[in-house]
A and B are shown apart, each in its own frame.
Chain A
Amino acid sequence: MPRATLDRQLHQIQDEVLTLGSMVEQALVKSVDALKRRDVTAAQQVIRGDQAVNEKRYAIENGIIAVVATQQPMAHDLRFLAAVLEVIIELERIGDYAKGIARVCQRLEGVEIPIPSRDFERMAEITVSMLHRSLSAFVKEDASLAHRIPDEDEQVDALYNSVYHGLITSMIQHPEWIDHSNLLLWVAHNLERAADRVTNICERTVFIATGELLEMDLDDYEETE
């Protein structure tokens, strides 16, 4: 079948997106785990690792520009490449959220404050699961799966609201914790936003599969933002 070179390059880009996705998943899990265990060394590793995430994103972007310039992709191939340009930005941002959580872990070093680790872990778990399946849908170009995943964002939003109220209550009861509780609010915020980014990835998968540009993000949180 003609276009063997283009097909090979498209596959390679797809593989690199999966690699980037896996780097970001690990960073998110590791950052929440570091916070739970108060492990500043692990947090430092996540922060350092973000550089590799950024470099991977730019490498994929450069690869896409080269394919567009040299292979004249059309139709599905063009949609795929345009979508990947968006998907890698979403993944890189999720990496930034992980880095932000790792920074909070560093800033809370030696601070005596209860951390809602179980909720954070649960949020990260759901988000990583959504992310993992969103990339699977992306690879299979499975629009139906991509349509279903964003619904799970509600669970993350519910956890966010629960953590939010818990932290506000703790701030009222312990005004001396306000600064540090505020940092923990940022952790919740980052996890909540990471799940939103997964929704954007699903939108791009639908675009690749159908050519339709959809807005799937019906997030209650964003309305109050």
Chain B
Amino acid sequence: MSEQNLSNHFAIETRNLNLFYGNFRAVKDVNLQIVPRKITAIIGPSGCGKSTVLRSFNRMNDFVPGFHMEGEILFHGKNLYAPDVDPVQVRQYIGMVFQKPNPFPKSIYENVAWGARINGYKGNMDELVEGALRAAALWDEVKDNLKKSGLSLSGGQQQRLCIARALAVKPEIILMDEPCSALDPIATLKIEDLMRELSENYTIIIVTHNMQQAARASDYTAFFTMDEDRAGVMVEYGETSQIFTNPRDKRTEDYITGRFG
């Protein structure tokens, strides 16, 4: 991953990205440039390929039978799908937080330490765990109960624990797939504020069905929809304030004003 070239100006860059499940082309010709240390939201109706794109960024789709890709996903100038790239290493640099909080049935401490242990981390584990929990704005709530099960936490706390777990392996990019859809409005706003804080040090890409969340929480927004072949296409990509006040494409306008989708 050390290869450098001009494209490391972007955190991730896709070039003519096409994603397939068997013969079905789920995503068509996406050229997307993710700005580092910003929050980028991907929005669009169900089936537009937004989660497929997100998952391709840390090769989570490798597990899906029949999945294959064409084009390139560049990270530090290197195609993430090049034959010599180790997907496990990709996931260390590009972490993921899922829709439903999924802590392991272990202690809070072990949940956070897990990734580092697997990677053979030799440093001070207590410091690493505390740092990750602080960065995830959870430390103050759990510091006296680190041995309690991660599953004993509330939904919002569990999601922050999962964010801490992702942070503990020192990623550059955090992918979030509908991270708040299982949370109440206050827990949702806490996660959004946390995302804002994390964006000082990390690049965040979030897929969300919640248009208001994309509007509130992101710096850039990409709008995806389906074309006539039901393949996901990126219609428009720009600064969030522009997309939500003056979209350039009528399909974006129709979607964000609730007249389509």
Contact = CB atoms under 8 A, between A and B. Distances in A.
User: Does A associate with B in a complex?
Assistant: yes
Interface of A: 2-6, 62, 65-66, 69-72
A69 B241 contact: yes
Contacts, number: 35
Given A3-B193, A4-B193, A5-B196, A66 B245 contact: yes
Q: 3 shortest A-B CB distances, which residue pairs?
A: A2-B189, A70-B215, A66-B241
A70 B241 contact: yes
18 contacts: A2-B186, A2-B189, A2-B190, A2-B193, A3-B193, A4-B196, A5-B193, A5-B196, A5-B217, A62-B245, A66-B244, A69-B241, A70-B216, A70-B240, A70-B241, A70-B244, A71-B215, A72-B215
A197 B78 CA distance: 61
Contacts of B216: 5-6, 70-72
Interface of B: 186, 189-190, 192-193, 196, 212, 215-217, 240-241, 244-245
A28 to B, nearest CB: 33
Contacts of A5: 192-193, 196, 216-217
Nearest to A72: B212
Contacts of A3: 189, 193
A8 to B, nearest CB: 9
Contacts of A69: 215, 241, 244-245
Given A5-B216, A70-B215, A71-B215, A65 B193 contact: no
A114 to B, nearest CB: 53
Q: Is the interface of A mostly helix, strand, loop or mixed?
A: helix
A3 B245 CA distance: 20
A65 B244 CA distance: 10
Nearest to B241: A66
Nearest to B239: A66
A144 B217 CA distance: 36
Given A2-B192, A65-B245, 14 more contacts: A2-B193, A4-B193, A4-B196, A5-B192, A5-B193, A5-B216, A5-B217, A62-B245, A66-B241, A69-B215, A69-B245, A70-B240, A70-B244, A71-B215
A130 to B, nearest CB: 34
Contacts of B244: 66, 69-70
A219 B139 CA distance: 60
A138 to B, nearest CB: 25
Nearest to B218: A70
Nearest to A5: B196
A66 B212 CA distance: 13
Contacts of A4: 193, 196
A69 B190 CA distance: 20
Nearest to A2: B189
Nearest to A65: B245
Nearest to A66: B241
A72 B188 CA distance: 14
A49 B226 CA distance: 50
Contacts of A62: 245
A6 B192 CA distance: 11
Contacts of A72: 212, 215-216
Contacts of B193: 2-5
A5 B241 CA distance: 13
A62 to B, nearest CB: 8
A199 B98 CA distance: 53
B241 to A, nearest CB: 4
Nearest to B245: A69
Contacts of B240: 70
A68 to B, nearest CB: 9
B252 to A, nearest CB: 13
